[in-house]
Chain A
Amino acid sequence: MDLELVLSAAALIGLAVLIPALMLVTAIFGPRAKGKIKDEAYESGIGATIGVVDQKFSVKFYLLAILFLIFDIEAVFMYPWAVSVRELGWFGFIEMVVFMLFLFTGLIYILQKGVLNWR
């Protein structure tokens, strides 16, 4: 069988076993000192903010995440074109341009509406 495949699989499995094993060993045998102040979420400056849930985030964050998701999908569909660009030639290029023009229209709409303006 393929020696490279065997070696790379062995390396991956070795890492997958070794890293959790080391974490487990340090968790069991490692020294630790607990304390009231030490266990707080934030040690210096801001005090423990656990339990404060009435702070509101702007919907802009979520909008940005959704827009990132959409343009991420666009990028994913560029990979198959990119690896076969020689075979497809100009026809594929024009198709890709049309594909991106549609999304460019969306980008212009986003910019026009000022979604990306952070005041």
Chain B
Amino acid sequence: MMKTLFSADGLVGLLFLFNLIVTVVGGIVACNAERLVRAVIGLVVCFVGVAGIYFFLNSPFIAMMHILIYIGAVAVAISFAIMLAAPEEKMRTGPTSPLSGPIGLISTLLLISGLVSLALKTEWTSVTKINDGSVKTIGIQLLTNHSMVFELISIVLLLAILGALVIARGGREE
């Protein structure tokens, strides 16, 4: 059956395409921005699109994690890192030789054609779902079957706190 644009599926597909466009545009901005702060903003836009794609992949928990951690915290950390380093704005690396453009284009086309032919030739089989992937199921699984992993996460985070303090405050005498 041919799906029209004005059905629920068609609109959801349109939203998915919009997500893809946001991701790609954000990535292009992040790669081509003259100023580093603008590149960070492009990265954030790209992350928004990626979070939407996670949502379409039926994992709302990962999408929420992506928004909270990457857009909320990692972007702030990167901004502070740029403030601290204060890199030279003019030190933008351009193409080093006139051949690098065409060679890059050819290798990109080869890679894309290889991936597309691989995707078309593969016989896709749908894997049976373990569970519905909702936040509730993840919570029950995480705190019953995988409770050891859950407690180890807190130890990893504690070590991250200690490591951050040791590295950032290293070499000071008190």
| Contact of B81 with A62 in the complex, beta carbons under 8 Å | yes
Stretch of A22-30, A35-43, A79-87 lying at the B interface: A79-87
Question: Measured between C-beta atoms, what is the minimum distance from B21 to chain A in Å?
Answer: 9
| Contact of A109 with B65 in the complex, beta carbons under 8 Å | no
Chain B interface, number of residues (Cβ within 8 angstroms): 50
Task: Report if A118 contacts B (CB, 8 A).
Answer: no
The secondary structure that dominates the B interface is helix
Task: Report if A48 contacts B (CB, 8 A).
Answer: no
Residues of chain A within 8 A (CB-CB) of B112 are none
Residues of chain A within 8 A (CB-CB) of B151 are 95, 98-99, 102
Counting chain A residues whose Cβ lies within 8 A of the other chain, the interface size class is 35 or more
User: Hey, what's the 0/1 contact readout for A1-29 against B, CB within 8 Å counting as 1?
Assistant: 11001100110110010000000000000
Binding site for A on B (CB under 8 A): 7-9, 11-12, 14-15, 18, 61, 64-65, 68-69, 72-74, 76-77, 79-81, 83-84, 86, 88-89, 135-140, 142-144, 147, 150-151, 153-155, 157-158, 160-162, 164-165, 168-169
Task: Pick the 6 closest A-B CB pairs, nearest first.
Answer: A80-B139, A1-B8, A84-B139, A9-B11, A106-B161, A102-B154
